[in-house]
Amino acid sequence: MTFFEVLVEGASDVPTMREIMTRKFNLTESQDFRIHPHHGKGRLPDNIEARPDPNQRTLLHQLPAKLKGYSHCGDDICVLVVVDVDETPCYDLLQRLNGMLGNLSKRPRKVLFRLVIEETESWFLADHEAVRRAFPKADTRKIARITPDAIVGAWEELAGAIGISRTSVTGADKFSWAEKIAPHMNLETPISPSLRKLISGIQSQMEID
C-alpha cells in the first residue's frame, strides 16, 4: 500500500487535498497519507544542494531539501507535490521541477509532480454546482461561463460569486471556502482538467502496488 507525503503551498489547500484522498480514494489521514502545507509557492533556490533558509518556508524553496530528506524512503512512499501554475507556462514549470529532481544528489524513488491550473480555487470555479451547493446564495452565472482551468484570477472570481469584496479576502476565507466547497466537488468525473490529471496520477501510483 502506497503512503503519500503530500506537499502543498498553503493551509487553504489542505481541506481540498484531504477530501480527495479520503473521499475519492478511501484513504485515512496519518495512516495512508500526510499533508504538509507551506507558506506559499516561492521559487526554487539557486543552489538546490544548499541548506534552505529557515525563514523561507515556501514550498519551492524548501522542496529540494525535503526531497533529499525523503531519499531514504522505499517504494511504498510516494511524495506528491502539488504546485499552482499561476501564470507560468505549464511546460516550463514542470521542466524546472523535473530538472531539479534529476540534479539532486539524493532523492526519493517515487515523486509525483502535479500542477494546478491556475490555483486550487480554479477547481471550484470549474465545479460551479459544488459552489452553489456550498453557498446557495452565490451568483454562479458568471463563473459558469468560465472555461475550466482558464487563467482568470480564480480566487478573485470565486470571491465575486460568493459576494465577498476581493480586497477583504484573507487566508482564513480561502480555507473556509475549501472546507465548504470540497465536500461537494465532483471527484468521479472532474470538470477541471488539472484535477483530473491529479486524480489519475494518484490512481496510477496506487495501482503500482
**What's the pLDDT tens digit per position in 47-58?**
999 999 999 999
> Euclidean distance between the first and final Cα of the chain, in Å?
6
Segments making up each domain of the chain, as ranges? 3-118+190-208, 121-184
Q: What CATH architecture does domain 3-118+190-208 belong to? A: 3-Layer(aba) Sandwich (3.40)
**What's the pLDDT tens digit per position in 128-168?**
999 999 999 999 998 999 999 999 999 999 999 999 998 99
d(CA 25, CA 50): 36
What residues contact residue 156 under an 8 Å CB cut-off, 6+ apart?
A: 166, 169
Residue 114's pLDDT is 97
Residue among 37, 26, 33 nearest 178 (CA): 37
Walk along the chain (209 residues) in steps of 10 and give the mean pLDDT of each run: 96 98 98 97 96 94 97 93 89 95 96 94 96 96 92 95 93 96 98 97 86
∠ CA(7), CA(13), CA(18), 5° rounding?
A: 80
Taking CA atoms, 38 is separated from 8, 12, 41, 72, in Å, by 6, 10, 8, 22
Residue 209's pLDDT is 60
Residue 86's pLDDT is 82
Residue 160's pLDDT is 95
